[in-house]
Structure 1
Amino acid sequence: MTLRTDKVARAFDASTHVNNLTTLIKHTCGLIAAHAVLNLVHAVVPDSARGRSLRINAALPASCAAAMTVLFATAPQPREVADPLTEYAGSWQITAYGTVFLAYLTTALVSGCRLCWKWGRQPGSGRTGLGLKIVCAGLLLGIAYAVHRAVALLLRAAGADPLSRRADEALSDFFLYGSLVLLVIGTSLPASRRLHAWVTAHRDLLQLYPLWHDLTEAAPVVRLHAPHSRLAEALDPRRTRDRLYRRTIEIRDAAMVLSDHASADLRAEAERHVASHGLVGAQATVAAEACWLRQAQIARLRGDPPEGTHLPPASGGRDLASEIQALTQLARAYRSKPALTFARHP
């Protein structure tokens, strides 16, 4: 696409002293791209859904590229032009060159389109199936582009030119860019689930940071690594799920250590305190835990001797998802007004 830009193409060709060399490079890239899309579709689609669809070996696009190179080198091209297939349509070498390119492109796109449509309609294919349907639509536009270019090439070789050059370029660009946009969307869609999972995990990681930092500051022995700032955590996209899993463990371990500083009287006082704020049920249980955790954190940082005993958490989950939900609720309660006022006046 960069080489399609007229100024870039002219500058590149001038530097190599070969007229229209960027055209050969663009079309060779087109062969590689079509072969790559076909390989992607074959990798995604199960064997049972492939049927008799053509699997193109890498030798075929390589042979086409070699033939195009020979035809391009032997074709008379006395000057730099925007589109050799249009300007030199009377040359049999250019006509053969374009025919080889468009024939391979059409064959690859038709094969990929059949595979995408067959598998995309399968029940239970989910986002992969939807992505393949969008890829199929992109390949159909690609086929329309190839057919349009082939018809225009043959008509010009025969001396006919039914469309103006501007109309021909506009139609060609519509098919080409439309195909590319749909291919990018379709091949990216199956990855959106993982992207959503990563975004959710990264958000949870940052939401739990204040609670984790406060509790592990009082019980640093539970930390596996030295703490980083919240900004550094936000800017680090690596191993997000592993870090989140470790964070939940360290929060629970720190809470277990701090429970030594939460006597039965302190816990009872925390329950009365949250009840005075109108909290009941599970909400009150979480808020009370947040209250005594705040007070226990302060006591441990002061160096007060332990008063209580290790107790299991008042709230928690049976798996990572429910545990994150429980800890997120605890983190909100830890920053709530009841917890803040209880830490000042237990």
Structure 2
Amino acid sequence: MILDVALLALLWGATVIRIPTLWRDSRQRALWAAVCAIALAKTVSFGPIAAELAVPILPHLLGVTSAYFLLRFIALVTHTGVRARQLALLVIVLVALCGLDVLAHGIDTEADLLATEQGWAVVGYWVVLEAYLGTVLVTTSMLFWRISGEAPAGLPRAGLRVTSTGTALVAAYAAIKGSLILVHNLGTHIDFSTVEPIGRTTQTSGLILTIAGLLVPATRRARAAYEAYRSLVVLRPLWKAMRDAFPEVILFTPRRAVIELAGVDDVHLRLYRRVIEIRDGMLALRPYAAPHGPSPAEEAAAIVEALQRRAATNPLAEPGSWAPVGPAMADEVAWLSRVSRGLAGPSRTPTPSGSAR
């Protein structure tokens, strides 16, 4: 039960974390759909929820759907496969499972029920299900292992190999379970009460490894996005001063900014734009800037004084210059962040005419 809860938390966490990737490309959308479908499958198969729904076939249909999106992801990565054929195969498998479920008068998934004599409709159901899932998972495992060799050493490579190992475990569970049900129906006694709990633990462990591996690059991107967002917040006082003084430096409308806050555009692009807007504002403010020292605090004080001179329409005959920074964007962000921290609050920063508000 604890392992199942941990898996559900991981699956839904991965589903939510990867939502921003929906706007990236079709490969990421296919991968997100696969994770979301398996999260739904494990949710509806969770004991209390499964007891309320009483539709044992539903998790299997969702699992097959998840496998289809994994197949789409593989096709998009490797530029192989025809979408129409993959979709047709999905429909055939879903129809076959539903038809065999009707013929079998319902599929039993509990270990004690699997141990009873099953008809060939039940065997056919499990063979179709596990063959489709196993084939897709083996293909996925091979793909992730192959491309892991091309990934940078460290976490990216380790994440891909963990994912490959996880999908291989789930594929092994599918193959073994389908084979045992077939062998059992041919007359060999199988103690499903012993085998099934081990198999479910293997499947759950494999899924945890798969999702954990997939989260490695997402976690790295999330950390980078967090750092970029933090820089946006730190730069806001300096950016606001430039925006209020020179509203024409803004590169996108307030409405566009709201859309970007919702995650449509990358936070790194927003940070890049904010740095450009600050630099454009400081360039326009330069005629009012007095010569000053090289520290961030002195530059912040010079900006406040320059804004006051601009408000009074009092440019300098021999203005100073702002500190040269570079060459990398990270250097710009670090320097401007220190300057922004040095800016005083609203009591010392005037709101000149031409405010964007």
Question: How does the TM-score come out when normalised to structure 2?
Answer: 0.69
Question: What letter is aligned with 2:181?
Answer: L
Alignment of 1:5-16 (within 5 A): 5-13=46-54
- Superposed CA deviations along residues 181-222 of structure 1, whole A, max 9, x for unmatched, are 222223333344443432232111111111222344344454
Partners of 2:286 and 2:322 within 8 A in 1: no
Moved beyond 6 Å, runs of 4+? 225-228, 232-235
Selected match of 1:66 from 95, 104, 116: 95
Q: Does structure 1 retain, via aligned residues, the 8 Å contact 2:169–2:202?
A: yes
How many pairs does the alignment contain?
Answer: 298
Alignment pair present for 1:132 and 2:160: yes
Once residues 67 and 221 of structure 1 are traced to their aligned partners in structure 2, the CA distance between those partners, rounded to angstroms, is 63
Name the residue aligned to 1:245: 272
Q: Distance in 2 between matches of 1:41 and 1:65?
A: 20
Aligned to 2:5: none
CA separation in 2, counterparts of 1:238 and 1:30?
29
Is 2:108 the counterpart of 1:99?
Answer: no
State, as a whole percentage, how many aligned pairs show the same letter: 27
* 2:327 equivalent among 312, 318, 322: 318
Report the CA distance shift for 1:94/1:313 in structure 2 as closer, same or farther (over 3 A): same
SS of the residue 1:202 aligns to: helix
Q: Distance in 1 between matches of 2:304 and 2:259?
A: 23
Within 5 Å, which residues of 2 pair with 1:274-293? 284-293=294-303
What are the residue-to-residue correspondences of 1:106-255 with 2, within 5 Å?
A: 106-122=134-150, 124=152, 129-157=157-185, 158=187, 160-163=189-192, 165=193, 167-223=194-250, 237-239=263-265, 240-255=267-282
For the 8 Å contact 2:242–2:281, the answer to whether it is kept is yes
Contact conserved, 1:222 with 1:253, CA < 8 A, in 2? yes
Aligned residue identity for 1:44: V
2:300–2:342 contact (8 Å) kept in structure 1: yes
* Alignment correspondent of 2:352: none
1:25 corresponds, among 53, 58, 61, to 58
1:38 alignment partner in structure 2: 71
Runs of at least 5 residues in structure 1 that lack an aligned partner in the other structure: 14-21, 51-55, 272-283, 341-346
- The 2-side partners of 1:224 and 1:299 are apart by 25
Alignment of 1:329 with 2:357, yes or no, is no
Q: SS at 2:195's partner residue?
A: helix
2:309 corresponds to which residue? 299
Which residue identity is paired with 1:4? Answer: S
Partner residue, 1:275:
none
Q: Give the letter aligned to residue 110 of structure 1.
A: V
* CA deviation after TM superposition for structure 1 residue 139, in Å: 1.3
Equivalent residue for 1:258, pick from 270, 273, 285: 285
Instruction: Kindly provide the amino acid, as one letter, of the partner of residue 68 in structure 1.
Output: L
Q: Is the contact made by 1:201 and 1:241 (CA closer than 8 Å) also made in structure 2?
A: yes
User: 2:299 is aligned with what amino acid?
Assistant: E
For residues 152 and 43 of structure 1, do their structure 2 counterparts lie closer, same or farther at Cα, with a shift above 3 Å needed? same
Could you tell me how far apart the structure 1 residues matched to 2:112 and 2:87 are?
A: 27
Structure 1 pair 114/245, CA: closer, same or farther in 2 (3 Å)? closer
Q: Which one has the largest radius of gyration? A: 1
Structure 2 segments unaligned to the other structure (5+ residues): 1-41, 349-357
Letter in 2 for 1:66: V
What is the deviation of 1:23? 2.5
C-alpha displacement at 1:325, in angstroms? 2.3
Paired amino acid for 2:114: T
Shift of 1:64: 2.9
Q: Secondary structure at the match of 2:43?
A: coil
Contact kept, 8 Å, 1:152 with 1:161, in 2: the verdict is yes
Kindly indicate whether the alpha-carbon contact (under 8 Å) linking 1:45 and 1:119 is maintained by their aligned counterparts in 2.
no
Q: Does 1:75 align with 2:104?
A: yes
Deviations 1:227-258 (A, max 9, x none): 89xxx999664543333233223322332333
CA RMSD across the alignment: 3.7
Matched AA of 1:106: G
